[in-house]
């Protein structure tokens, strides 16, 4: 499969290298615990053992026995707003991402899973989402949910000196992208996407690619911060599951408003 410039389509490995250069620094949650109630009678409980490992259990949409231990990384996106990812090693081809804010004690859980086989026309990595509440206090404000706020927005994302991408959010289900600088320069596509609003200016943006077996979870701070923190899960060139961290700066280019008929 080739792009418009006649070059072979790049692999996950090609574009992921260095894409975390401008990511915010990790923070340690060692010695703390977090419980989130989500979905219908579902819960996830996390006990952070040190700077990089967490003991956890879950029931409902995600199931894990008590005493399960996996790696984690955490970023404080804003004061009291956290992005936590579990690149699971206790099971293959899965990851769990949690974003929450202490302002409202609300959370979003994203569960990414690589399917056993690739099916033409369907992203190989699927994602599920749940709104939740934390055990850190009473929940307030609006419950997180799908948002149309990004439709019509056009932004540039700088992840490193060698990673510059443009995104155009075209509907509630799809976004278009192109690489302006980096290994994928000249490449672009339109992929499936999901946007949830966590709080004012904070959006969980996730995409699932068709051409490459990869999906991603990001928390965009479109307030004063104009930064993004994310992770990828996909299949490497060697055919193995691969987790990558990512992050960088957001440069808004503008927003289109539709006068009458609206995108789906």
pLDDT in tens, 51-73: 999 999 999 999 999 999 999 99
**Contact present, 232 and 243 (Cβ < 8 Å):** yes
Please give the pLDDT value at position 8.
80
CA 101 – CA 121 distance, rounded (Å): 36
Which pLDDT score is estimated for 2? 42
Per-10-residue mean pLDDT for the chain, 264 residues long? 58 93 98 93 95 97 96 98 98 97 98 95 96 96 97 98 98 98 95 98 98 97 97 95 97 96 96
Q: Give DSSP secondary structure letters for 172-217.
A: SSEEEEEEEESTTTT-EEEEEEEEEEEETTEEEEEEE-SSSSEEEE
Residue-wise pLDDT tens digits, 228-250: 999 999 999 999 999 999 999 99
Q: Are 45 and 33 in contact (CB under 8 A)?
A: yes
> Residues of 108-137 as b/e, b for ≥16 C-beta within 10 angstroms?
bbbbbbbeeeeeeeebbbebebbbbbbebe
């Amino acid at each position: 499969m080739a792009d418009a410039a006649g070059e072979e389509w790049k692999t996950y490995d090609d574009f992921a290298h260095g894409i975390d250069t401008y990511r915010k620094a990790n923070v340690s949650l060692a010695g703390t615990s977090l419980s989130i109630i989500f979905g219908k009678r579902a819960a996830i409980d996390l006990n952070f053992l040190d700077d990089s490992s967490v003991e956890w259990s879950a029931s409902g949409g995600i199931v894990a026995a008590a005493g399960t231990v996996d790696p984690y990384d955490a970023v404080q996106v804003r004061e009291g707003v956290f992005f936590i990812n579990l690149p699971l090693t206790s099971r293959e081809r899965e990851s769990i991402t949690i974003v929450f804010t202490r302002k409202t004690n609300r959370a979003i859980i994203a569960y990414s899973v690589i399917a056993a086989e690739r099916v033409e026309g369907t992203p190989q990595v699927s994602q599920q989402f749940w709104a939740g509440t934390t055990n850190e206090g009473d929940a307030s404000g609006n419950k997180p949910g799908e948002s149309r706020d990004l439709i019509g927005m056009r932004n540039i994302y700088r992840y490193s000196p060698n990673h510059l991408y443009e995104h155009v959010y075209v509907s509630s289900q799809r976004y278009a992208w192109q690489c302006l600088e980096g290994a994928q320069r000249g490449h672009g596509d339109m992929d499936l996407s999901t946007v949830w609003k966590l709080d004012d200016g904070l959006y969980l943006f996730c995409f699932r690619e068709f051409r490459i077996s990869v999906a991603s979870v990001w928390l965009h701070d479109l307030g004063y911060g104009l930064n993004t923190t994310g992770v990828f899960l996909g299949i490497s060139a060697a055919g193995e599951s691969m987790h990558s961290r990512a992050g960088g700066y957001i440069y808004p280019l503008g927003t289109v408003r539709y006068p009458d008929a609206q995108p789906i």
